Amino acid sequence: MEPARIQLVPKIRKVIYPGTFDPITNGHLDVIGRAADLFDEVIVALAMNSTKAPLFSELERIDLCKEAMKEVMPHSGHIRVDSFSGLLVDYAKKENAIAIIRGLRVLSDFEYEFQMALMNRKLEDITTVFVMPNEKYTYLNSTIIRELAKYGSDISGFVPECVNKKLKEKFSKK
């Protein structure tokens, strides 16, 4: 009689990249790409933050994230877009994530992100991985992008084409 074979199922290393992504920028996409190189699955998780009033609705942001990734990372099969409300650590636990990705652009980002990482580790013992985007994106953030778009500046070098188009539509109505 042949011995039973044990089939080992590899553990999937899943990571959460949270943010409001209002809108998603080339800097965000750079961090997502770096995370995708390190982990088996990346969940781009749109935080439904009650203290912020986003320009784009939850559905618009989800669609923009998906479309932007198709434009920039057409072979991104192990990247998923989702949304959550409540505590990030609760969402990470529900998703069986082993880590949280946070992008660090400049030194001033570090203090806040470090505090959040320590609190998340205290609450759920989850690791935070800090990723630096390419230096050409260190000055980018969604607030600056929205402000530039509002006044008609060319933002095509900072965001995917789908985001550029959607921002033009949004501000032409105002």
Which residues are known to be catalytic?
28, 52, 105, 142
Residue 15 in contact with residue 42, Cβ under 8 Å? yes
Q: Residue for token digits 């998340």?
A: 120
Q: 21 — alpha (psi -120 to 50), left (phi > 0) or beta?
A: left
Name the β-bridge partners of 43. 16, 80
Longest Cα–Cα distance of the chain, Å, equals: 77
